[in-house]
Structure formats: C-alpha cells, structure tokens
Amino acid sequence: MDAILSRLFSSEEEELYVLDCLGYFMIVMAACTFVALLFQDVPYGRYAPSTARFRVDARIAWFVQELPAFLVPFCLVVWTSSAKTSLLPNQLVIAMYFCHYIQRSLIYPFLIRGGKPTPLDSFVLAIMFCMYNGYMQIRYLSHYADYPAHWVTHPRFIAGSVLWLVGWLVNMHSDHILRNLRKPGETGYKIPTGGLFEYVSGANFLGEITEWAGFALAGYSVHSTAFAISTAVVLSSRAVSHHKWYHAKFEDYPKSRKALIPFLF
C-alpha cells in the first residue's frame, strides 16, 4: 500500500495536510447533517421509506457497509510503513478503534434478528463513510500522531479511556437487550427494558456517543474529534426520533424515560 500512497501524495506533509482537511470537512458535514436531520430522519431501519426500489437485507447491509471500517485500517497497519505503531499511546488508541469495529463488522451483523432492509442509497453512503473515516483515523494514528512519552498517564488520556470503555460496554449491552426483546418467531416492536433503557430510549446510542467521545479525548486530534461530533449528531437525532416513535406507538411507554441523557434530555 505504500506504493499506492506514494502515487497519491507527493510527500508526507501533503498527506498530513489532506488528513487534516478531511477532519475539518467531516465537521462541516456534521453541521450540515445536523440541519438536515431537523427535517428528516436518517432513512434506514424503522424509518426506511417503503417506496425504496432497491433495498439490501439487514444482515448483509450491516456486514458489507461496516467491513471497510475494519479492512482499510487493517491494511494500513499491516501493509504500510506505519511509523508510530510501535509507540504505546498510538497502540492503545488504535486498539480502541479496532475493538469497536471488529465487533461491529465481524460479529454484530450475524447476531441481528430480523431487521428491516436498508435502502440502497443509505447502504452506499455508509460504505463510503466507513472507508473515509477508517483511512482518516488509522492513517493518522499509525503514521503521524505524535504523543508525549507520558501521554498514557495524562488525565486527558485516562479520562478518555474510561469514557471509551464505559461507552463500549453500554453499547454492547444495550444491543444485547434489543436483540432479545422478541422470542423466536415473534414479530413487531416491544418496549426495551433493563440497563440504561430504564432511563433513556436511546441507550445504545448513548453508549456509542460516549465511546467515541472518549476516543476523541484519548486521541486528541481533529480527526478523532470530527468523528465524535459526527457520531453525536447522527445518533442524538436518532435517539430523539426513537423516543417520539415509542411514545406514539405505546400508550404505556414510561413517561419518566428521557430520549438520550438520563433525567435531563
């Protein structure tokens, strides 16, 4: 892959400049997405339009669209001269990324029970985002990110790591609850209970937002921050939409339950 990168960029300075631009561009796109989501839900899952002509099976969609987020970074780490992968801070932040995407791309899709087909346009956009973000995050962390020797003991890194771990565990536990709402053969939606679902409608979204916020804090770069912002924009909107949907569908939906942040929002 070094040969490919050397053809794309005339120098390491140019590639780093492009990586920085990609980070800032993602922040701009997150702002545009925020505005767009005030008027329309992201069209997948329960919000997928029934009029979509081409749709992809839920399991296949999740596997294929998330796989580049694992494969592109894997290739960058294994088949490029990754100058920083021997350093402990870089290794730990890279490990956070891979822990999420190994589960999300190689395990999660095969645990899905049912699931509505994904519209083709949403599917293609998800693939493009995963390639974009996977390259931006791991190329920076594996080849350019320069942390102080004491970074792993810095309060910012420690706090970020704890946030990441808590968010990762909440996300996986919440997904487990959602998968097991219906018994084999059952269809339709049910009210999720247990874990943080006792307090918020979007416990799985809260977990993932927390996870990437921790990643951004530990990684401390425009690239990780951009991803955390983008994640928060999309998933907070989805949590609010789910909250409204649950209240409209179930008369007995808990009135004290919030959308995303326990006791607040």
Q: Which of 27, 118, 108, 117 is nearest to 67 (CA)?
A: 108
Round to whole Å and give the CA distance between 26 and 28: 5
- Written as one letter, the residue type at 265 is F
pLDDT at 48: 67
pLDDT at 188: 79
**Residues 131, 72 contacting (CB under 8 angstroms):** yes
pLDDT at 196: 97
Round to whole Å and give the CA distance between 215 and 230: 13
pLDDT at 101: 97
Round to whole Å and give the CA distance between 5 and 143: 12
Q: Which of 114, 212, 226, 222 is nearest to 163 (CA)?
A: 212
pLDDT at 115: 77
pLDDT at 186: 73
Residue with tokens 């001269």: 81
pLDDT in tens, the chain (265 residues): 888 998 999 999 999 999 999 999 999 999 999 999 998 887 766 776 667 778 899 999 999 999 999 999 999 999 998 889 999 999 999 999 999 999 999 999 999 887 788 999 899 999 999 999 999 999 999 999 999 989 999 999 999 999 999 999 999 999 999 999 987 777 778 999 999 999 999 999 999 999 999 999 999 999 999 999 999 999 999 999 999 999 999 999 999 999 999 999 9
Length of the chain measured in residues: 265
Region for 220 from its dihedrals, namely left if φ exceeds 0, alpha if ψ lies in -120 to 50, beta otherwise: left
pLDDT at 44: 67
